[in-house]
Structure formats: structure tokens, C-alpha cells
Amino acid sequence: MSLFKKLITIIVFVGAAFTAQANEIDSRNPYQMMHAVADKTFDRLKSEQTKIKSDPNYLKTVVDEEMMPYVNYQYAALKLLGPNLRGADKKEVSAFIDEFRGYLITSYAQVLTQYSDQKIQFSPEKSIPDDRRVVSIPVEIVDKSRPNVKLDFTLLKNSKTGEWKAYDMVAEGISLLSSKQSEWNTKIRQDGIPSVTKELKELARKDIVFEGKK
């Protein structure tokens, strides 16, 4: 398994920490938000296994409804584009952001097929200054069949609402955003933003498949 796929696997298991009905979770405290939504998410995955097994694509709905409200995919997409934003067509950038969201949904949903009652251990809550806009929260994935995995989630605070959303994850010293930026930057420079947008759209349309099934 490639390093990126390992990172995706990790981010999806912990991505559950950002799922839940938006009107039920107070996202103004990133630590409490992660605790609350993790409990709700794993409860849902357990209770809906029959439906998920019969229709794996239902996981896309779960991710869309539950996870994406707590992921700042817009900010992440713009960071991915980085210097390519200079002089870029606004419509092309908007299309890239939309397809990046779809790509995340499918990527997360696919790895959620590996769910088998993993547990999450959170770092102790620390005081966050009011003027802090970015915070890194360490967590640990506890898996009975694999070694524990330590990682850090990076969250961005909305200066107007005070709400926090995740936009990056660092595992094994590697930022998920940085790894994808390196992968896509060359193609964007050579072929333009629409070329990667098209690739994202194709990836987003893939069906969710459980391992061992076609």
C-alpha cells in the first residue's frame, strides 16, 4: 500500500471524529466537537451495517451528510492549488473545488468499508487562545489487529463564527495536503486546472466496493 493510501486510510478512520448532524454539535470547541461526533459516527456505522453491506455506495451519503459539514474542503482545495491560483480562471477554480469535494467523499467512503470497530483516543484538552486560528490536535487510532497509529489533525477557525473545521492531517511526518499538492502541481502546470478537475470527477464517480468483491 502506498504512503498516500495509508494516509487516506488513517484520515477516514479519524474523519469519523468530524461527523454528526451540524445542529447537534458545538464546533466552537475543537476538542469537544471531536469527542462528540466520534461517538455518534461509530454508533451510526454499527447500527447501519446491514444497509451499508447491501449498498456500499450508501457510505457516500453517510460521508456527505455527516462528515463534510466538519471538513473545510474549500480551504484545503485552495491550498492544494497554491501558486497555481495566480491568474487562474475563477470558474475553473470553482469547478476544481466542487470536484475536490466529491473526490473526498468517495475516498473517505471507500476506506470506511474497512471499519471494524476501531477506537479513537484523544489528547487531553488544552486551552486555546481566542486569537488562535489554527490548532493541531493529536489523536491515536487503536486497532486490535494493527499497531496503534499516532497522528495530528489540523483545524482552522472561522474568524466570524468561531467554528472549527479540519483541513489537513499529518501522519508519519507527512502532510496529506502537501503530498497531494506535490502530486498534482506538475500536471496543473503542464495541462491546466481543468485536467486535474476532470480526473477528480472521474475518481468521485467510482463505486464503493468492499475488498474481495467486484
- 43: domain CATH number is 3.10.450.710
- Please report whether residue 65 resides in a domain: yes
Number of domains the chain contains: 1
Give pLDDT, residue 207: 97
pLDDT at 77: 95
Q: What are the angstrom distances between the C-alpha of 51 and each of 20, 46, 63, 104, 110?
A: 18, 10, 14, 22, 15
Asked, for residue 39, whether it belongs to a domain, the answer is yes
Distances (CA, A) of 142 to 36, 87, 123, 186: 18, 45, 13, 36
In a domain, 184, yes or no: yes
Range of the domain at 70: 3-204
pLDDT value, residue 19 = 42
Does 213 map to a domain? no
Q: Per mean pLDDT, which of 59-63, 73-77, 148-152 is the most reliable?
A: 73-77
Q: Is residue 49 part of a domain?
A: yes
- Flag whether 209 is in a domain: no
Closest CA to 96 of 109, 80, 83: 80
Q: What is the mean pLDDT of residues 140-157?
A: 82
- What is the arithmetic mean of pLDDT over 193-209? 95
Write the DSSP string, 28-89. TSHHHHHHHHHHHHHHHHHHTHHHHHH-TTHHHHHIIIIIGGGB-HHHHHHHHHGGGGTT--
